[in-house]
Structure formats: structure tokens, C-alpha cells
Amino acid sequence: MFNSVIWLVIGLVSGGVISFFVRKMVVNHKTHVTETRMAQLLSETRDKCKEILLAAKEEAVSVRIEAEADFKDRRSELQRWEKRLSHREDGVDRKFDSVEKREKDVVQKEKEVESIKEQANKTLQEQMLRLELISGMSHAEAKDLLFQKLEAEVREEHAQQFREMEASLTEEADARGREIISSAIQRCAGDVVSESTVSVVAIPSDDMKGRIIGREGRNIRALESTTGVELIIDDTPGAVTLSCFDPVRREIARVALSKLILDGRIHPARIEEVVKKAKGDIEATIQSEGERAAYECGVQGLHPELVKLIGRLKYRLSYGQNVLTHSIEVSHIAGMIASEIGANVRIAKKAGLLHDIGKAMDFEIEGTHAAIGADAVRRWDKDTAVVNAVAEHHEEVPLSSVESFIVAAADAVSGARPGARRESMDHYLKRLEALENVANSFPGVEKSYAIQAGREIRIMVEPEKVDDLGVAKLARGVAAEVEKELQYPGQIKVIVVRETRVIDYAK
């Protein structure tokens, strides 16, 4: 029994010591967490907590040293008690009372440590409340604000890197594209527009108008019925105007009327004979012009019907630009670009020559000239790449090959060069207005100005509604919408300007 009591005493002492160390470790861990949180909130709170924790640690170390010394003493006493157990049983009761007292002391120290921890937590909460009152926001709001600022900084950095990469790639692509296009344009010398869209026949005197009309109008009716062209004889001095949608018919009528005026014999039979001869001359001219164009572009093996259609383009004008001359120019430019980038030169030149062939028949068949021309080429030429390039040169269908893109670019270059085409003032103003309307349809746009004859649009945005990242998105969006909604030759440069002005006065 005496041994049991001794072991009980040892167990109680060991349990008390272990409980003390375990509690001390828990207190140290929680105190460390409390220090970390308090350090993040306020320097003053951190210093105060450090002082409290240092005091607690010093007291805990003191208790531990005292407990260790006491443990050694008790162990010595137990050894002496074991030797003297036979004659010192009364000493056990005294030692047991001493152990109980020590345990009470340990419990008291634990309570003091818990009180210190509660005080530290209370101080932390008070400091957090003070911080929230000073900042005017809760802990969660401050955390959200910090995340928002961090996200904005990351987005800004990402946008800056994206703009730098985009600018670098765009600069390299533009430089290479300008080099290729400028080289092709310099090597292709095109004439400035000089043709007129109206066929006018000069007459030596106004008396000739009466002879052209004839008795009771029989001569003019014979001319109109045999040529299919309307003759306009008005008060215009020294001229007769010919009107017809078919440019070939109009040219036949012009040649026939010129010969009749020179001959002087104007009557229905003579008119029929001269018109028939004029038709033969024009057909021969069409054939020779088609062959000349094919030879000049280096395109071989064309079907005779395609050659005739090419020749008919000699009498077709588009915005004052001769379509045959334009087609030859596109063929040359497309071939040069294809040779520069390593594409199929033969397909590019052939498709460039045939790309507007539908304009030779667009007054006879419904549909766009690109679709009509593609059907004609498909009927007399089995080259699928050429057919696709003709159909796609206005991007009415998606571009399917490099050659299609080259032909579209060459067509834009030929039509966009200065002096190549004419357009009416009304059409010009409508085009500029449509361009500005597209830009103004985007949110955040304050003003937009179409300049450089519609080749460039400058957009002023409201800085408080559009940030730096939104500027790049707006430019791409406007460019995509312009490509989708408008038709125009060449390309349109989109410039977005975001300006922030701060004004103050020194008084």
C-alpha cells in the first residue's frame, strides 16, 4: 500500500508537470497567433501584446524552473522516504499535503495565463474596432478593397504587357506588309481616271439633230431599235447623248452614229447596215482587247468565252475607273505580292484578271458581280482556287486561301490609289456619316471624326467611363463593326484617344 501511495504521488506530480507543459505549449501557440494578427492591424497593439506575452513567458519559465526544482526535491525526498519508510510513515502525510499545495499553485498559474490570454483577445478586438472606426469600413470590406486593388494592379500590368506585345507584332506585320504592297504598287504604274460614264457623240451643227431624228422620227426609232440604246437629243449644242445600261451596246451605237454623221446618209436602211458593221467592229475589238489583256498579264489557256468577257470590260466603268485597266492592274499587283510571300503566282494573276469579270454581265443576270463572275469562271474553267478567289474578293463569303486574300488586297490597292475612282459628293458624305455613326454607337464615346477622306476615324472617349484597357478593346470593336457594316476600298485606320485634363488656378 505504501508503494501504491508513492506511485500515486509520483503520477500526480508527473501529471501536473505534463499538464503544465501542455498548457504552456497551447498558450505559446495561441499567443503567437495573436501576436501575428495584432502585428498586421496596428504596431501599437503588437508592442503591447509583446510586453504581455514576455511577462507571461517569464512567469511561465519561473514556474517551470520552480516546478523542476520542486520535482527534484520531491524525488530526493521519496528516495529518502523509501529508505526510512519503516520509521517515517507520518512524513508521508506531510509530503502529500505539500503536493496538493503545489497542484493548487499550478492551477492558479493556469488561471492567470487564461486571464492574460482573454485580456490579449479583448485588446485585439478593441484595436480592430478602433481601426474599423478610423477607416470607416469593416474587416471584410477592407479585405475586399485590398483584393480589388490587387486585381486592378494585376489587370493593368496584364493590359500593359498585352498592348506592348500587340504593338510589337502589329509594327512588324505593318512594316512587312507596307514593304510588299509598296513594292508592288511602285512596279505597277496605273493611269489616273480620265474616262467618262456618259457616251456623247459630237455633231458638226445643230441641223444634224433634225437629220438624226428623221421624218416623223423614223431615223431615231430605227437607231434605237437596232442598237437597243436610247438617244437623247436636247438643247445641248453640238452633242447627242446615248443612254443604255449595256456599255457594249452604247459603244456600238456611238460608233454607228459617228459613222452616219461622217457619211451624211441617214435613213433606216443605211442605219441598219452601219449598225451591223459597227457590231462586227466592236466584237473584233472585244476579242483583241481580251487577248491583249491575257497576254499582258501572262495568263494562258483561257476559254474563248472568258476572253470575250474580259474584252467587254473595256467598255465598263466603275466609279469612273475602267474595269479592264483595273483588272490588269489587279493581276499585276496580285502576282507581285504572291511572288513576295511565296504564294501561287499563276493562280493569283489569273484570279486577279478575272475577279471583276461578273461586271461584264451584271446588267443581264441578278446577283453580285463576284457571285456572277465566279459562276462564269466555274462554267468555263475548272480551277477551283481561281473560282474561290473570284467569289471571295469582296469577302461576301469567307476567304479560303492565301491567293483569295492576295486578290482582295490587290483589288483594294488598285481601287484605293489616288485618282483611281470618282464618287459623288452625296455618296462621299453618306460614307463619312455612316463611319461616324458606327463609332458613336459604342458606349463611352464622346465624339468621333472621319478624316483623310474616310481613310481614318478618330474617336474621343470619356476617360471616366473607358479605362486604358477599354481603349484597346474599343478600337478593335469599332474596326470589327466597320468591317461588318460598311463597304469601302482599301483600309480604314481607327484611332481612339483617351485624355484626362486637370485644371487649377494659382491665386
Distances (CA, A) of 178 to 174, 345, 481: 6, 19, 24
pLDDT tens for the chain, 507 residues long, are 566 767 777 777 777 677 777 777 766 777 776 667 666 676 776 677 678 878 878 887 888 888 788 888 888 877 777 777 666 666 657 677 777 888 888 888 888 888 888 888 888 888 877 777 776 777 777 777 777 888 878 877 777 787 778 777 777 766 666 566 655 554 554 444 334 445 777 787 777 778 788 888 888 888 888 888 888 877 777 778 888 877 888 888 888 888 888 877 888 888 888 888 988 888 898 889 889 988 888 888 888 888 888 888 888 877 667 888 888 988 988 888 888 888 888 988 998 898 888 888 766 677 788 888 888 888 888 788 888 988 888 877 888 888 888 888 888 877 765 444 544 456 667 778 888 999 999 998 999 988 866 778 899 998 888 888 888 889 999 999 988 888 765 578 889 998 877 777 776
Return the half-sphere exposure (C-beta side, CA atoms, 13 A cut-off) of residue 274: 23
Which pLDDT value is given to residue 459?
Answer: 92
* Sign of the dihedral defined by the CA atoms of residues 37, 39, 42, 46, in that order: positive
Q: How far apart are CA 345 and CA 342, in angstroms?
A: 8
Q: How far apart are CA 360 and CA 354, in angstroms?
A: 11
Query: 288-416 maps to which CATH number?
Result: 1.10.3210.10
The two domains 288-416 and 425-498 share their CATH topology (first three levels equal): no
Nearest one of 352, 395, 327, 295 to 343, comparing CA atoms = 352
CA 172 and chain centroid, separation: 17
CA 259 and chain centroid, separation: 60
CA 46 and chain centroid, separation: 51
Q: How far apart are CA 150 and CA 147, in angstroms?
A: 5
The separation between the first and the last C-alpha atoms of the chain, rounded to the nearest angstrom, is 101
Q: How far apart are CA 194 and CA 172, in angstroms?
A: 38
Which pLDDT value is given to residue 176?
Answer: 67
Copy the grid coordinates of residue 85.
519508510
Task: Strands of 404-462 (E only): list them.
Answer: 445-451, 456-461
Secondary structure percentages of the chain, helix, strand, coil, to 5: 70, 5, 20
* Beta strands across the sheet bearing 239-243: 199-202, 239-243, 230-232
Q: Which amino acid is at 199?
A: S
For residue 239, report the phi and psi dihedrals to the nearest 5 degrees. Answer: -155, 150
Mean pLDDT computed over every residue of the chain: 79
Q: Kindly indicate whether the domain formed by 425-498 is annotated with CATH number 3.30.300.20.
A: yes
Query: 427-475: per-residue pLDDT in tens?
Result: 667 778 888 999 999 998 999 988 866 778 899 998 888 888 888 889 9
For β-strands 317-318 and 199-202, DSSP reports them as unpaired
Q: Domain limits of the chain?
A: 2-135, 288-416, 425-498
Return the half-sphere exposure (C-beta side, CA atoms, 13 A cut-off) of residue 98: 14
Say how many C-beta atoms besides its own lie within 10 A of residue 42's C-beta. Answer: 16
Which pLDDT value is given to residue 196?
Answer: 44
Nearest one of 117, 118, 101 to 16, comparing CA atoms = 101
Q: Which residue has the cell 449644242?
A: 237
Collapsing DSSP states into helix, strand and coil, what is residue 456? strand
**Could you give the residue ranges of the DSSP H alpha helices within 84-138?**
90-135
Query: 366-400: per-residue pLDDT in tens?
Result: 778 888 888 888 888 878 888 898 888 887 788 88
Which pLDDT value is given to residue 128?
Answer: 77
Q: Which helix (H) or strand (E) holds 498?
A: strand 493-498
> Is residue 351 within 8 Å of residue 386, measured between CB atoms?
yes
Query: 51-69: per-residue pLDDT in tens?
Result: 887 887 888 788 888 878 8
